Structure 1
Amino acid sequence: MQKALADSVVVLDFETTGLSPQYGDRAIEIGAVWLEEGRIVERFQKLMNPGFRISRFIEGYTGITNEMLSGQPRCEEVMAEFSEFIDGRNIVAHNASFDKRFLDSELKRVNRAYKGDCCCSLLVSRRVFQNSPNHKLQTLLSHAGVPKTGDFHRALADAEMTAYLWLSMIERIRRQYRISEVSFDQMSELSKIDKLYTHRYLTSLADTSEI
């Protein structure tokens, strides 16, 4: 069975009313890009009405206002549609534990479940860009020389910029370690190892890769 490649994934981002779906926070925007062999082939973006007014802090942080959310479809409607978009695909997100919590929570409300695997680009970046001042998306884009393509803290723009960062890390690994193809499982494994062993791990991949 052919391994899933790291450059063929859905990269997603949520904007939300707060940090914890377990305490009643909801999604207010979903943005995602579908990568196929390193190219964006489709985009998904929707605002969604959480059913209550969002705070002034969230309005200021995201630029999404209560007026913008008024009349938008409910979260349940949007997430039912989004579940079709990600069906059968692996996903990537920056600080994925946050986005995965909201993904799972919102899908549960519509009796859907995500069956693919998820990898965190932030954790990978801590291994690939160890000299970066920090590993926030904005800092990493500058550190890696990846152009800014939109406004931070809007879901589609963040997803798209995360996708380009993700591809830049794959390309850096391929070039530096002479690996012809990087699999999704290899990136997931990289995200979990001690960063001190990054070079050893990637070197071991080069030994077994077809080049």
Structure 2
Amino acid sequence: MNADIRRPPSGQLEGDPLFHNTTFVVIDFEGTTPAGHPPQPIEVAALALTHQPHRGWVQVGAYESLMRPPEFAPLTPAGAAQTGITAAMLADAPTAGEALAALDSCLTAGPYLLVAHHAPVEGGMIYRRREDCPHLAAIDLIDTVLLAKRLLPRLENYRLDTLLDHYKIPRPRDRHRAMADVRVTAEVFGRLIAEADSTGTIRSLRNLKTTAGRPAKASAPVQAELF
């Protein structure tokens, strides 16, 4: 994150110990969209950040992996053109289950909140693999789209590129690779948090979760079977 984002919030978030004690894991998937099936992941990246008093955002971990898609969801030419990922790169990659299990094993120092742009997409990818990553699947999400809508109500839309333009954050050359998208999402999240804090829109971690949170689907109670 750049110097502008590392500066500490100036408002009440600076005094909220729950905010400082939480590890924010910015996450992004790239995937294929096979007909008749939900999207299948081919790459995941995650960046773990904490906010330390008087220091600002500090990276405490990172993870990224390609994932070999199932046979019914091969990488398409359009997908390869958008991401720069090739079928050859995926041929020897771990399966989604293996890659997400490895990410899950890194989650040992919570509490955590996931951060994603348009979080239902990432949340759905995780939920469908919840048996491979039970810890990850139980973590609630912060949606930067919801946060941006609250703070920037006059934007034309809330695509990631629109927010990058709004905050004058350069688009990475490898935009649409998972780690590149994670890093710019982290930049956007930091700008939104600083703006929310300085204006008094967000005063605590609880307020942040109320404003932009999405509960983990894996944590939802299961409805009893009807007879």
TM-score tier after normalising by the smaller chain length = 0.7 to 0.9
What TM-score do you get using the length of structure 1 for normalisation?
Answer: 0.79
In structure 2, the residue matched to 1:203 is: none
Decide whether the 8 Å contact of 1:7 with 1:167 is kept in 2.
no
In the alignment, which of 207, 218, 223 is matched to residue 186 of structure 1? Answer: 207
In structure 2, the residue matched to 1:8 is: 23
Decide whether the 8 Å contact of 2:175 with 2:181 is kept in 1.
yes
2:61 is the counterpart of 1:42 = yes
In structure 1, the residue matched to 2:186 is: 163
- C-alpha distance in 2, partners of 1:112/1:178? 33
Decide whether the 8 Å contact of 2:20 with 2:50 is kept in 1.
no
Decide whether the 8 Å contact of 2:25 with 2:114 is kept in 1.
yes
In structure 2, the residue matched to 1:59 is: 80
2:89 is the counterpart of 1:73 = no
Q: Give matches, 1:124-135, under 5 Å.
A: 124-135=147-158
1:6 Cα shift?
Answer: 9.2
In structure 1, the residue matched to 2:219 is: none
1:19 Cα shift?
Answer: 7.6
- C-alpha distance in 1, partners of 2:79/2:201? 44
1:24 Cα shift?
Answer: 4.9
- C-alpha distance in 2, partners of 1:15/1:161? 15
Unaligned runs of 5+ in 1: 193-211
In structure 2, the residue matched to 1:209 is: none
- C-alpha distance in 2, partners of 1:171/1:98? 25
1:7 Cα shift?
Answer: 7.3
| More helix, by proportion | 1
Secondary structure of the structure 2 residue equivalent to 1:61: helix
Decide whether the 8 Å contact of 2:21 with 2:50 is kept in 1.
no
Decide whether the 8 Å contact of 2:100 with 2:133 is kept in 1.
no
In structure 2, the residue matched to 1:27 is: 41
Provide the aligned length of Structure 1 versus Structure 2: 188
Secondary structure of the structure 2 residue equivalent to 1:46: strand
Decide whether the 8 Å contact of 2:65 with 2:99 is kept in 1.
yes
Matching residue's letter, 1:177: G
- C-alpha distance in 2, partners of 1:7/1:147? 28
Identity %: 26
Q: In structure 2, do the counterparts of structure 1 residues 178 and 16 end up closer, same or farther at CA, with 3 Å as the change threshold? A: closer
Matching residue's letter, 1:161: V
TM-superposition CA deviations, 1:19-64 (whole Å, max 9, x none) = 89x8253210001110111222221110010132222221122221
Secondary structure of the structure 2 residue equivalent to 1:167: helix
Matching residue's letter, 1:50: P
TM-superposition CA deviations, 1:56-83 (whole Å, max 9, x none) = 2211222211111011111111110111
2:33 is the counterpart of 1:18 = yes
Unaligned runs of 5+ in 2: 1-15, 52-56, 214-227
Matching residue's letter, 1:99: E
